[in-house]
Amino acid sequence: MLKARQGKPTPITGLGGFALMAVVLLVGLVGSAQDTPVPNQPTLLLEDLAVDHVFEVDLKLDLKGELRLNTPKGMEKLPTEAKGHHHYSERLLTLGETPHSTGPSRVARYYDKAQATVIAAGEKTERSLRDTRRIFLIQRAREELLTFSPEGPLTRSEQELTTDQFDTLAVSGLLPGSKQKPGDPWKIPNATVQLLCHFEGLIEHDLKGTMEKLTAEKAHFRVMGKASGIDQGAQVKAVVEATGIFDFPSKTITELIWKQTEERDAGPVNPSGTLSSTLTLNRKRTKTPATLSDKVIEELPPEKDEIPPHLFAIEHKDSKGRYELVHGRNWQIVAETADHMVLRLLDRGDFIAQCVVTPWDKAPKGKHMAPEDFRVAMNKTPGWRQEKELLADEIPGTEGRYIYRIAAQGKMDESEVVQHFYLVAATTGEQVVVTFTMTPRLVEKLGARDLNLIGGMLVPAMTP
């Protein structure tokens, strides 16, 4: 192997020098010819993905539609719209077995921006990330894609911003990974469709891609078709129309406009509705930023199937500071008023139990409601007729909390149910009642998840 001389460079002279220059030029021309697409000739459409590659991503969302609610007055239609903007860098850490259909198996992501404005039934809410929740890990564990921040639990809005966003890691699956000519169709992989349509489970689809235009540096492609799947326990039927640009020099999908119109059935946690969304993606390769440096990556939790539970939890604080709650992501908040909060537990889309959190009248300092008074109060629950008490006991509590539990079987509006009533009280006199309701056959599936939720409740909420 030739080694470069140290010191002053020596110019290439003589016939040998001209011959060497000619060979270098020829090799360069041949290499360029091989990499340059030729119109109407088969051309390879495949992204280049490797460990430590970094992408800069800009993603914008525009959504409009209506939600339909069954009310005592009949079906009520609620206009809904949302706008979102994400800007982040992501570094590929491990590729896994199917990086070109489901995306790399582990990615570190740093959000410069993640915000959304949602208007539902005339009520406007703003969502954004806290400065202490900017870095995230996205990894596949047991065929499930998980998003979490190593900096700590997320709020519900932070979880929705970062987990329910369009899955940019799966866009590689829109390319065929083989040579194509303009006009030749290819089928989009099932896994890619499930991720990009945001389904928990895919029922069927007919999405196909087609290269429409080919230039020396870019391939313009289109994806169209229908798909149906399950999301949060409800069936969703979607129509997709998307256009994208594949950049040959960088071997990257640099632009994508994804339009999706969907008809959603009512589910355990969401009403039915019709929604139309347009996602605009701009993506490019970039150098590793300081926010995703080697030092930052070394300090992240190691890759493993089981994520520490506290990193995969949701924080919720009562607006009046009467309690705060850290709970698992399977518990979905479906309603919240000044008097109560309602959550529902979903397990792979199946509705398991409902939980109602109700702030109770404050007791004198150092005291709480007596067990017998608690029993009487619970028996007065509207629509509830107790038939048999199954259990009554005091549960040891931390932070000076008093916890008392009653489990009973009976009928709620003529339906057979089991209810677990919890009284959670603080030494300062604040009290919260938490009620879990389920059918008798689902008690076993609930398991200890009611106790886990109670264990994550603090009464009153901590002062910021």
The mean pLDDT value for 311-317 works out to 91
- pLDDT higher than threshold 60 for residue 33: no
Q: Is residue 262 part of a domain?
A: yes
Residue type (1 letter), 177: G
Number of compact structural domains in the chain: 2
DSSP secondary structure of 395-425? E--STT-EEEEEEEEEEETTEEEEEEEEEEE
Instruction: Decide which of 270, 298, 326 is a domain's last residue.
Output: 298
* CATH number, residue 330: 3.40.1000.10
The mean pLDDT value for 172-178 works out to 96
Give the C-alpha separation, 393 to 375, whole Å: 12
Residues 205 and 161 in one domain: yes
Residues 284 and 324 in one domain: no
Using alpha carbons, select from 9, 54, 454 the residue that is nearest to residue 250.
54
Strands 234-247 and 252-264, sheet pairing: antiparallel
Residues 287 and 329 in one domain: no
Residues 262 and 373 in one domain: no
Lookup: tokens for 419? 């209810």
The mean pLDDT value for 73-81 works out to 89
Residues 135 and 277 in one domain: yes
Give the C-alpha separation, 265 to 262, whole Å: 10
Instruction: Decide which of 298, 330, 349 is a domain's last residue.
Output: 298
Q: Is residue 76 part of a domain?
A: yes
Give the C-alpha separation, 199 to 287, whole Å: 33
| Helical ranges in 229-331 per DSSP H | 294-298
Region of residue 349 (phi > 0: left; psi between -120 and 50: alpha; otherwise: beta): left
Q: Count CB neighbours of 288 within 10 A.
A: 15
Q: What confidence tens digit (pLDDT) does each residue in 269-300 have?
A: 889 999 999 999 999 999 999 999 999 999 99
Q: Is residue 22 part of a domain?
A: no
Residues 212 and 268 in one domain: yes
Q: Is residue 42 part of a domain?
A: no
Q: Is residue 264 part of a domain?
A: yes
* CATH number, residue 164: 2.30.230
Three-state DSSP string of 365-382: CCCCCCHHHHHHHHHCCC
Q: Count CB neighbours of 171 within 10 A.
A: 23
Three-state DSSP string of 159-188: HHHHHCCCCHHHHHHHCCCCEECCCCEEEC
**Confidence (pTM):** 0.84
Residues 242 and 349 in one domain: no
Q: What confidence tens digit (pLDDT) does each residue in 118-145 have?
A: 998 788 999 999 999 999 999 986 667 7
How much is the mean pLDDT over the chain? 89
What integer pLDDT is reported at residue 36 of this predicted model? 62
Residues 254 and 328 in one domain: no
Q: Is residue 334 part of a domain?
A: yes
Three-state secondary-structure class, residue 22: helix
Q: Is residue 199 part of a domain?
A: yes
Q: Which residue range forms the structural domain that includes residue 442? A: 318-458
Residues 243 and 357 in one domain: no
Residues 277 and 351 in one domain: no
Q: What percent of the chain has pLDDT over 70?
A: 90
What band does 305 get if pLDDT is binned at 50, 70 and 90?
low
Residues 292 and 324 in one domain: no
- pLDDT higher than threshold 80 for residue 15: no
Q: Is residue 44 part of a domain?
A: no
Residues 118 and 79 in one domain: yes
